[in-house]
Amino acid sequence: MSRLIVLDTETTGLSAENGDRVIELGCVELFNRKLTGNDLHIYFNPERESHEDALKVHGLTTDFLRDKPKFASLASDVVEYLRGAELIIHNAAFDVGFLDKELELAGHPPLRSFVAEITDTLAMAKSVYPGKRNSLDALCDRFGVDRSNRTFHGAKLDAQLLADVFINLTRGQDALLIDVASDEPTQGRMVSVDLSSFELPVLLATEHELAAHDELLVQLDKASSGRTLFRQLSAAPVA
């Protein structure tokens, strides 16, 4: 199983190219689709004011951020934390654009050069729920994810909410074979399960089910002019 990092940022505005900066980074780590607690949460001093509209969203004032570290001073730590992981981001182009600009200013290569993959949950949601609202708030409501303690947008809180949303979006994509006796990471190995200790029940078809099956085959025979594959295979001699 891959190491997943659910990531979110807060910024001073909407345009990294026009000088807006990252002011908060929140990361939540998942391994084997379980929270590990190895999270990352940092506030940064952007050395500039937040736009009024952005401030209304995140509530992080210049006074609060004044004594926080600059991104460049912790860029190496951020790179090492994210290295090799699959990043899960909602509207990934926005956060990736800002982080790439911060990394560039700090003398580091862009995200895609050292992470395994970047998955955009907004694109995923649009493919599953086309034509519907697919903001993080809308997805939380759709999946029943509790966001009642969310007054402002915060990178760490939003990453936690997105982790829950991601699990719901990808439910059913769990590994078919799991080690039921251990929670240790499998490091990508296929794990087999010994079924010898399980008594597996044999459920036989009822007379009604058998009759319904035969009737269906009759209808299929009529529709296919006698070319029903099931009948051909069942009539073939056993080698």
End position of a domain, from candidates 169, 189, 222: 169
Is residue 80 within 8 Å of residue 40, measured between CB atoms?
A: no
Chain segment 168-179, per-residue pLDDT in tens: 999 855 433 333
Q: How many domains does the chain have?
A: 2
**Dihedral (CA of 44, 47, 50, 54) sign:** negative
Q: Let me know whether 134 and 227 are in one domain.
A: no
Q: Let me know whether 43 and 157 are in one domain.
A: yes
Q: Let me know whether 53 and 126 are in one domain.
A: yes
CA-CA distances (angstroms) from residue 191 to 3, 187, 195?
A: 17, 10, 13
Q: Let me know whether 19 and 102 are in one domain.
A: yes
Burial class (CB in 10 A: 0-12, 13-18, 19+), 168: middle
Residue 141 maps to a domain: yes
Q: Let me know whether 80 and 132 are in one domain.
A: yes
Q: Let me know whether 96 and 19 are in one domain.
A: yes
| Regions of the chain with pLDDT less than 50 | 174-188
- Containing structural domain, residue 227: 205-239
Q: Let me know whether 222 and 162 are in one domain.
A: no
- What pLDDT does residue 229 have? 72
Residue 31 maps to a domain: yes
Active-site residue 51, yes or no? no
Annotated active-site residue in 58, 90, 108, 153: 153
In sequence order, the β-bridge partners of residue 88 are 6, 119
CATH number at 95 reads 3.30.420.10
Chain segment 61-108, per-residue pLDDT in tens: 999 999 999 999 999 999 999 999 999 999 999 999 999 999 999 999
- What pLDDT does residue 193 have? 58
